[in-house]
Amino acid sequence: MSSLKDLLQQREQLNAQIEQARQSELSEALAKVHAVIQEYGLTQQDIFPSSGRRSSRAAGSKVPPKYRDPATGATWTGRGKPPKWIEGKDRSAYLIA
């Protein structure tokens, strides 16, 4: 039976071997990626088309209002915190047809 000290030393050796194998495989993977990028002339935009900006659907679309207060004409989409004029009331009376 191994002592605690021996087991801890083995763990340290295994951790070092794991990190060494990880670095080696990472280097190989990056070399493959670079080769494919060079071969096909890919750009960052080709690989990550939506990086740095929101999708056009999310950025440009507005949700139409679902409820209207007949007294003031104020509207609410039904998303987020409900406004005071509809809070705690039956919403079916405020639905926009």
Provide the pLDDT confidence category of residue 57 given band limits of 50, 70 and 90.
low
Task: Extract the tokens encoding 48.
Answer: 């990550």
Examine the domain organization and report whether 57 and 68 are in the same domain: no
Domain count, the chain: 2
DSSP, collapsed to helix, strand or coil, labels residue 76 as strand
Q: Which residues pair with 67 in a beta bridge?
A: 76, 95
Quote the mean pLDDT of the chain: 90
Name the pTM for this structure: 0.44
Examine the domain organization and report whether 2 and 39 are in the same domain: yes
The pLDDT assigned to 8 comes to: 96
- Residue 95 lies in domain: 62-97
CA pair distance 37, 30, nearest whole angstrom: 10
Examine the domain organization and report whether 42 and 84 are in the same domain: no
Give me the sign of the Cα torsion angle 64, 68, 73, 77.
negative
Provide the pLDDT confidence category of residue 26 given band limits of 50, 70 and 90.
very high
Task: Extract the tokens encoding 47.
Answer: 């690989």
Provide the pLDDT confidence category of residue 1 given band limits of 50, 70 and 90.
confident
What single string gives the DSSP state of each residue in 48-66? -TTTTS--HHHHH--PPP-
Provide the pLDDT confidence category of residue 2 given band limits of 50, 70 and 90.
confident
